[in-house]
Structure 1
Amino acid sequence: MGTTALPPHRLYYLHNFVRALDWLRTRYADVLGAPEQDFIARFTQLPEPAQALLVRLVMRRGPWFRAGKLAYEEIGDIDTAAAPLLALGWLDATAPLTLAELFAVHTHREVATLFAATCTHQATAKSQTKAALLQALQPHHTTAQPYRQWHPTSTEAVWRVAQEVTALCTRLRLMFFGNLHQSWSEFVLADLGLFQYEVVPFDAQSRAFQCRADVDHYLVLHALRQALDDGAERPPLLAAAVQATSPNPWLERRRAKLLMRLGEACEKAADWPLAEQAYAHSQHPGARHRRIRVHERMGRHADALALALLALAAPESEEEAQRLARMLPRLQRAAAQPGSAAAPAAKPPRSARTLPPPLELALPYPGPATSVEWALRAHWHTDEAPVYYTENALINSLFGLLCWPAIFAPLPGAFFHPFQAAPADLSAPDFAERRSALFAECLQTLNDGRYRALIRERFASKHGRQSPHVFWGALSEPLLELALHCIPAAHLRLFFERLLQAPVAHRSGLPDLVRFWPTRPVEQRYELVEVKGPGDKLQDNQIRWLQYCHAHGLPASVCHVRWLDAPGMEPLMGATGT
């Protein structure tokens, strides 16, 4: 009787890997070097079981694997599948393991039995935890050796995926996704429908890396970031990061972020001179503000004030302007030395506006399981005046739906593989400028009333697709209809224009609740409300949104909630406003 063939979907991971290789050969023929081309050619000539086994191992945490623990029905006999990989040197059965690597492929019971004869008289191997046993044995086993020398009586094979194969597959994955945080599992999640992505028509030249040097550069920056996270010495890391410049703007933004993280690590270690150097070389948002703070820490008050005044003349963002407004009085006092002229008073930035007085409200304590936002929503909500807890979801989602064609426009450098939830340049300073005509066309529909039909249509046709601004889990059809009914088009334009100023930074900080009055006799109305419980304060990004709303006549307010009968507190007397 013949063997029944397995359904093709049992090898889904292999099919996806082959799809990725075909994609890379089509779009990166000029970037693939001899090692990658040789790997792809040899891989395609392997028997299907060997291909499947290698892909399985590359996708799993390795690099060491015990043959006896590998069982895949669709692959069949593991030893047979592994034979071509061993012949190519892609799997290695004789590579030396360290003691820690040996422990990683064995259970506590197994290593306790293996080293039972070498344990000290103070404790038996089985009475110690695995970590304690490893620590006790490490001083006596400092040399790596093949598995057969560690475990002479074992008949099981232990394989290591060759380092060059792991590095090659990592490089190919990077070239396909344009990053290293996405994995081959993206194919599976998309096939299962768990993640849905917008289909963006881009040509063969739309790719993350334009030359081989770009890929090399990304990997250098990634290695430096890993070294920083692993606690490597910071001075050589900083020197390497300063030298790792690139003509590619996208990679320069990554380098700026790395320098920012280096500066933060130096600050945490109170290494102020090194932190100052890192921030001085970084163009990442916020680096200049942190450099001013480091100048203060170092007692360089004149330098701190000079840099702050320079920043105030051309702030990089509302956030920087807000921070400078708080810092300047302190910097001016510190920089005014005896016998010297006082530093000139700086004019506060335009964003430093006052807010209307908040509403004070006292409510019965709802218990620890209910947040203050839900408690206030329950207090206000009625059928005639519904209240939703949306936070950032509503305004962002309306923007994302109306401006969907502009956000997902197939511009060069924006999309380069089928699993992107957002354009790659979303955080770039020129994101909105590059798409200015497209965004203008979207916002024009607010003038002629077409926006409601467009938003409804995209809510239906794009539902569930990944987007940097649409919060599908929080956006229901009733909420959408209330928003389109009660929020004037002129107000939506104002919200959207601020989002366009900084599409990433301004996504957060919007008020918690939205109140609707859809059946008022004169006009429909809405209000955004930021909710604060006892001891809670407004965050900077919340203040900036509230200031913007107040300056432009958008109905937004703050409500401070107190509890009438919280445990351990005296009953509070106060308004029970509506």
Structure 2
Amino acid sequence: MALPTLDDPFYYLANFHTVLDWLGSRYADLLSAEERDFIAAFEALPRASRALLVRMVMRKGVDFRASRLRYAEIGDTRAAAAPLIAAGWVETDAELELAALFTLATKGELAADLAPWLAELGLSRSAGKAAWCAALAAESPAPRALPAWLPSLDDTHYRLTVDALGERFRLMFFGNLRQQWSEFVLADLGIYRFESVSLAASSRAFSRRDELEAYHHLHRCRERFDADEPLADLLAEIPREPFDNPWLERRRGRLLYKFAYRSERQGELRQALALYHDSAAPEARLRRIRVLERLARFDEAWALARCAENAPVSAAETQALGRIVPRLRRKLGLPRGAAAAPAEPERIMLTLPRSGWVEGAVAAHLSRDQAPVIYVENTLINALFGLLCWEAIFAPLPGAFFHPFHSGPADLFDEDFHARRQALFAACLAALERGDYADIVRRRFRDKHGIQSPFVAWGALDERTLALALTCIPARHLRLWFERLLGDIRANRAGMPDLIQFWPDEARYRMIEVKGPGDRLQDNQKRWLAFCAEHAMPVSVCYVSWDEGGDERERQDAQGDEGQPQGAVIEDAGAPPNSAAGGNPA
């Protein structure tokens, strides 16, 4: 799809027409009579009126002042608004709630007409708008038109009445309400670049009108939940029966999980238990076990925990069960089970001068000319995976892409994401066995640079780091990491060690997780560390304490052994420099 250029002053109108054409070709059977009528009537409007409407649709909110809708290419805003008012798409002087009034007017404009009321309430002119609004709201004033609120203000209030319709168009085009109209502009400016994926005429997010309406309904419920509406009001509006559409059912399951978690935190344990039971969210089973335990229903908790042990949904669930099951055994009087001790990574103990960035302080301390240390956290391994497997990730499978602004496939976090592309990923990973993977990664880094990807953070990866990684990390380790990523992309994209140290002359490396004073390993970090240790991959955990000795310690260090880095005391240096475990340059 060719996008209009920003050289055209009506570029945003051309973008909107592109959306309407897209919907007409892909969603004709799903459009309502209201939507079809709007599209036909919109096409017949004068260009200035169409442009003004699109400007309003693409701005935040539904209330505008005529004096602030000034666009050189549109010209006379009031003239352009007249056909929109006649069509009923814009209202004039609709009643405004107090909060909306305070959004539209400046402090000076408000003071000009509200000063007597403010004085009556004992509010000074120096108080902020927020204080004024809160005090006036306590009086519960009725909504009124702008001239009734501010009679001295010479302006016209416009209210957009087709905002919900524009939102439905946006939902149909993007398949979500997360992406905004600004995606077009960001692409026009080259700030965002997207992979070009072949889209069939049938590519679309929704196949039935009721799916579109259900998505919209769930989105509204989520907004109300985030606004802290009472759960009792929301629960009555959530569909109790599962959707036959797996995508919608996952959204319903996630929302039910959020309702259940809030119920649990509020002490409504039986309600939480029922909601967790109805939720298809992967974490729901673990929460059910914990709620059953809190309700002292230990036999039920034990039975569910045993089912989970036999068929865990994720490594995170297995890890949590390792804590829950022994506790349930004790409460039920069962014999202790045999617990396998997890593999432990190497430990490094450092005392360093206090720093605002502990990872940077460790990197600076351990880095050597022949063994640089680079802060990568989750970016490096994800990027190597994303570059090597680019073709599999962006394969134009049904339901994966349905508009030109995808940063990744829509089913990225679905359970069958890997299964649907198993042969494609196998072909990509085969390069690790053939030995040409480094050439592929370098070529993709060059050819795809800057294109949006769910795995590649371009700003965090440069050619030097890429070259070091391809030189020092063996293909066997890359395969292990990549296969673990594919096992649970949502969970395993995070939790990787903070730093990586390379010895390019020896073609080896080690990864280092850094923990400052009082900081503890998170569960996802423990899982990654255990995985690396289990597969004999060089990984260390560096525990840092701050040197509070001050200038005297620094002076003594400067006079001491020149081979010892200043300001550091290493209690456990780990493996020797030439060991297979990766060594320790300190």
TM-score (structure 1 length as normaliser) = 0.91
8 Å CA contact 2:195, 2:407 repeated in 1: yes
**1:558–1:498 CA distance, 2 compared to 1 (3 A):** same
**1:501–1:87 CA distance, 2 compared to 1 (3 A):** same
- SS in structure 2 at match of 1:240: coil
Deviation at 1:573, TM superposition (A): 6.2
8 Å CA contact 2:343, 2:534 repeated in 1: no
- SS in structure 1 at match of 2:238: helix
Structure-2 separation of matches of 1:574 and 1:481:
30
User: What's 1:541 paired with?
Assistant: 524
The letter of the residue matching 1:539 is Q
Matched, 1:529 2:512: yes
The letter of the residue matching 2:479 is R
Q: Which moved more, 1:99-108 or 1:249-258?
A: 99-108
Structure-2 separation of matches of 1:308 and 1:278:
18
Across the aligned residues of Structure 1 and Structure 2, the Cα RMSD in angstroms comes to: 2.3
The structure 1 residue matched to 2:390, chosen from 398, 404, 419, is 404
User: What's 1:177 paired with?
Assistant: 174
8 Å CA contact 1:528, 1:556 repeated in 2: yes
Structure-1 separation of matches of 2:387 and 2:540:
26
Structure-2 separation of matches of 1:573 and 1:400:
39
Matched, 1:432 2:418: yes
Matched, 1:360 2:349: yes
User: What's 1:115 paired with?
Assistant: 114
- SS in structure 2 at match of 1:560: strand
- SS in structure 1 at match of 2:28: coil
Q: Which moved more, 1:231-240 or 1:42-51?
A: 231-240
Q: Which moved more, 1:190-199 or 1:548-557?
A: 548-557
Deviation at 1:398, TM superposition (A): 0.8
User: What's 1:514 paired with?
Assistant: 500
- SS in structure 2 at match of 1:575: strand
Deviation at 1:124, TM superposition (A): 5.3
Matched, 1:273 2:270: yes
**1:576–1:94 CA distance, 2 compared to 1 (3 A):** same
Deviation at 1:85, TM superposition (A): 0.4
The letter of the residue matching 1:12 is Y
The letter of the residue matching 1:208 is A
- SS in structure 2 at match of 1:32: coil
**1:444–1:128 CA distance, 2 compared to 1 (3 A):** closer
Q: 1:89-488 counterparts in 2 under 5 A? A: 89-119=88-118, 121=120, 123=122, 126-138=125-137, 140=139, 142-162=141-161, 165-243=162-240, 245-334=242-331, 336=332, 342-343=333-334, 345-346=336-337, 348=339, 353-362=342-351, 364-365=352-353, 367-369=354-356, 371-488=357-474
The letter of the residue matching 1:529 is I
Deviation at 1:159, TM superposition (A): 1.0
The letter of the residue matching 1:34 is A
- SS in structure 1 at match of 2:541: strand
Structure-2 separation of matches of 1:441 and 1:218:
36
The letter of the residue matching 1:80 is A
Deviation at 1:199, TM superposition (A): 0.5
Per-residue Cα deviation, 1:350-384 (whole angstroms, up to 9, x for no partner): 7x62314512233x31x433x22211211222221
- SS in structure 1 at match of 2:497: coil
Q: Which moved more, 1:266-275 or 1:500-509?
A: 266-275
Per-residue Cα deviation, 1:112-145 (whole angstroms, up to 9, x for no partner): 2212334454525635432333343345563223
TM-score (structure 2 length as normaliser) = 0.90
User: What's 1:23 paired with?
Assistant: 22
Per-residue Cα deviation, 1:312-363 (whole angstroms, up to 9, x for no partner): 11111000000010111222223x2xxxxx3465565x7x62314512233x
8 Å CA contact 1:358, 1:559 repeated in 2: yes
- SS in structure 2 at match of 1:10: coil
Structure-2 separation of matches of 1:60 and 1:307:
50
Aligned positions, number: 557
- SS in structure 1 at match of 2:64: strand
**1:191–1:120 CA distance, 2 compared to 1 (3 A):** closer
Q: Which moved more, 1:145-154 or 1:52-61?
A: 145-154
User: What's 1:493 paired with?
Assistant: 479
Structure-2 separation of matches of 1:7 and 1:525:
49
User: What's 1:3 paired with?
Assistant: none
Per-residue Cα deviation, 1:17-70 (whole angstroms, up to 9, x for no partner): 111111111111111111111111111111111111111111112211111222
Deviation at 1:191, TM superposition (A): 0.9
User: What's 1:55 paired with?
Assistant: 54
Structure-2 separation of matches of 1:50 and 1:353:
67
Deviation at 1:166, TM superposition (A): 0.7
8 Å CA contact 1:115, 1:125 repeated in 2: no
Q: Which moved more, 1:110-119 or 1:411-420?
A: 110-119
8 Å CA contact 1:113, 1:125 repeated in 2: no
Structure-2 separation of matches of 1:502 and 1:442:
18
**1:27–1:566 CA distance, 2 compared to 1 (3 A):** farther
The letter of the residue matching 2:287 is R
Per-residue Cα deviation, 1:183-226 (whole angstroms, up to 9, x for no partner): 11001101111011111112011111111111001011011111
8 Å CA contact 1:175, 1:215 repeated in 2: yes
Question: Any stretches of 5+ residues in structure 1 without a counterpart?
Answer: 1-5, 337-341
Deviation at 1:278, TM superposition (A): 1.7
8 Å CA contact 2:6, 2:189 repeated in 1: no
Structure-2 separation of matches of 1:347 and 1:17:
63
User: What's 2:564 paired with?
Assistant: none
Deviation at 1:535, TM superposition (A): 2.0
8 Å CA contact 1:67, 1:159 repeated in 2: yes
Per-residue Cα deviation, 1:147-195 (whole angstroms, up to 9, x for no partner): 3333445442111111xx1111000000000111111100110111101
Percent identity among equivalent residues?
A: 49
The letter of the residue matching 1:530 is E
